Structure 1
Amino acid sequence: MLAAMFLPGTFSGTLYRRNLKIEAKLLLTICILNVIPRRGDKQEVRYPEIPVLYSLLHGSPRFPIRYLIMNHLWICRNKVGRSIILYCRIITGLLKQFKAITSEDKGAGKRHKPFDIQRMGIGCTYDQSERYHKLKSEGQ
């Protein structure tokens, strides 16, 4: 699988995105932008993505979308400190397609206090003139 997706001689050790062949690099970019949200580490290819990329490029082995979603949800559930759900756009699209949610449905509201620079906290002062904004912190 690695030899089919990476340039010759570049698939040992750390797997970098820059060493992928053009087709695999394009598919991985589409997946990262639309399917698998990543907060960091966008320079390397993760090992769970390799069989999925290979399957997309060659048509086999086939992975059911249910398997992929459940596998990644299980990883998210068991990994300490992980706060994102992978495949969230696909799950939302499937829910909309089968009319489980509609455009009128709104998500749960989160209590939010609007940001006000005048009330930044103890020890901070804010001054404003026609040309400048000054924010001073006293000992912090």
Structure 2
Amino acid sequence: MRSFFALCLVILFIASPIKTMADWAYPFVVWDGYVYVLQDEEVNEIGKEIGHVTKYSDLEGSYSGNFSNAYPRGTKYYEVKEVSSKEAIAVEVSSGTYRVAERGGPYGGNRYAFCDPDSPFFIIGILFVAVFTVVVYFSVRERKND
């Protein structure tokens, strides 16, 4: 039984992601799975709203959703008229003021985190903890009955 607990602890330790805490190299937003790097250029010709920031952090890490390291949750994204969203989008930096964000590469995000509810592994992590708790409870109860 001790080997089972040791194995569970090793698996939990190996599966836990390591977070880095550093400053980002540049301001950006993530939309539709891609990083959009903020430019100093303002834009006036905007189209329809296409999304908004769902997670903000100024510390380097790996996050999911429409993440930003520069703007708070709720900051809106818009199309730029006559520009494909595969090239750039507009970010509302203040009421009526929009900055261009040019598309970079795909954003890896937080695909493998156990503590982020947006991650597909969140439920798996919860189930693992629940099963582990039940096994411990019944093994302790069994020992007391012996």
TM > 0.5 = no
More strand per residue: 1 or 2?
Answer: 2
Q: RCO higher in 1 or 2 (8 Å CA, sep ≥ 6)?
A: 2
Q: TM-score, normalised by structure 2?
A: 0.23
